Structures are given as C-alpha cells and as structure tokens.
Amino acid sequence: MSNQNTQSGALVDSSPTSIVNRKSEIVNSEVFFKNLGRIRYKQAWNLQEELFQSVVDAKVNHTQPKPQFLLFCEHEPVYTLGKSGNAQNLLIAEHVCKSKNIDYYPIDRGGDITYHGPGQLVAYPIIDMEEFRVGVKSYINKLEDVVIQTLESFGITGEKDEKAMGVWIDAQHPAKARKICAIGVRTSRFVTMHGLALNVNTDLSYFNYINPCGFTDRAVTSMQKELGHEVYFQEVSDRMKQAFVEVFGMEFVG
C-alpha cells in the first residue's frame, strides 16, 4: 500500500476505500477503552500495530461487530520523528539521548518530531472513521475539539491554528502562541492509529532538545504552567475520556 502525507501532518494511506455519500448517523460507536498507565513507547507502539491490524482485518473480512479501541497512557521519556519529519529537528545526538535515558524512534505517523514523557496524557484512538462518518480532516478537527473541551473544564482556552495541527494557547498572536497538545496520526483504509499528546504536568525542559513539530519560533506549554500549579492527572484523564464520548459519540465497552 502506498502512503502520502497531507498538509495537516496526518499520514494517509491511498487505499481505494471511500467515504463518499456518508450518512449522518454513526454506524458502530462501540469502542474498547484501556488505560495502559506508564508504558515505554515501543511497547505501546507494538500494541497499537496489533490492534490496528485487527481492525483493518475485520474491515477487509467484513467481520461484525468490528473491534475499535481507545488507549490512554503516559510514556517514559521519548522523542518520536514522523515519517515526513526532519531528523535535524533533534538537536542532540542519539547517543546523548541514550545518556539521558531518552528513547528515540522514527515512526510511521505524519508530522515532525515531538516529545512524550511522564505527566503527559497520550490518547491513541484505533477506530474506523467510516463507522463514525468522518474523513481525515474532520477526524483531526474532532481530536482538537476533544482537547479543547478537556482544557475548558480547567479554565484554559485552547484554540486551533489553521496552519498548524494541534491545540494552542493564544494561537492568533504569533509572538505569544504556545502549543499545549500535539497531534499526529496515520490512517489506512480509514482506520486510525497514533493520536494526541496533551501536556498536563509535563517537564517542558525536554522540549529544549528538539524543534517541537518542526517549529523554531513557537513555544510549548502545559496545563500546569498555564494554571500555575500541578493538575490532578486522573481528573484530566476522566474529562478527556468523557470528551471523546461527547465529540465522537463513542460508547465504551469491555
């Protein structure tokens, strides 16, 4: 299967599946939810690949009910470089990463380089977009909406930037704009993997060793930094889980 990058940073498979003439109603909203807790990136990536393939296989073989998944987790410190990213945006050598106990992986999502680590809430939806009657652009918009609704519950105003995927604070003021959530996805046959990473109580110093998402002129932030105090992580997780229900119409099972 051939892949191509969209300008949004999503990696999209050019398979023949189409969502032309979509109905407005959701076909299958059932999603298995699992909180993986603290987990190394490679272990979670392997699990994603396994679940992703199970959804694709079910779709190809017309298996019903089709499995779909939403994974939440935190990672140990890691830098990931998207397929369309520039390795020069990692500002330290790989052996320095190892000396600092930071993993590094070039991976198969769209977008550039980002950081994952403790205090950051990562969400990996592995769903069939056709079941939710959305295309790639709408799917990414909905991921942004999930984060914006989550932030709103804590008195933080998150915003979208038409030129840069993710969720921002003060997006319309370039000198003040700062990213609070990165988004990078891969799709094949309209099945998704990878997802979003919201900085909750993240140690932002790790971003000093990269050009986050390829930007050299924009800052990063966290909920803790914006609010001036540490945030109860489980409360953010619970609110984001509810936001997936409200935005996507998911029904959690299992």
* Alpha carbon distance 98, 138 (integer Å): 38
pLDDT in tens, 112-145: 888 999 999 999 999 999 999 999 999 999 999 9
Q: What is the DSSP letter of 176?
A: T
Q: How far apart are the first and last CA of the chain?
A: 32
The domains found in the chain, sorted by start residue, are 3-13+28-253 (3.30.930.10)
Tell me the pLDDT band of 10, cut-offs 50, 70 and 90. low
pTM for the full predicted model: 0.88
More confident of the two residues 213 and 122: 122
**Where do we find the tokens 């969720």?**
167
pLDDT at 225 over 60: yes
Max Cα separation, the chain?
Answer: 53
pLDDT at 2 over 50: no
Region 141-156: mean pLDDT is 98
The C-alpha angle with vertex 132 and arms to 190 and 144, in degrees rounded to 5, equals 85
pLDDT in tens, 22-53: 345 778 899 999 999 999 999 999 999 999 99
Q: How far is CA 164 from its chain centroid?
A: 14
Question: How high is the pLDDT of residue 179?
Answer: 95
Closest CA to 213 of 118, 136, 135, 109: 109
Pairing status of strand 113-116 against strand 78-81: antiparallel
pLDDT at 185 over 60: yes
* Alpha carbon distance 181, 95 (integer Å): 27
pLDDT at 7 over 70: no
Q: Which of the residues are catalytic?
A: 213
pLDDT in tens, 197-206: 999 999 999 9
**Where do we find the tokens 């935005």?**
247
Q: What is the DSSP letter of 229?
A: S
Tell me the pLDDT band of 164, cut-offs 50, 70 and 90. confident
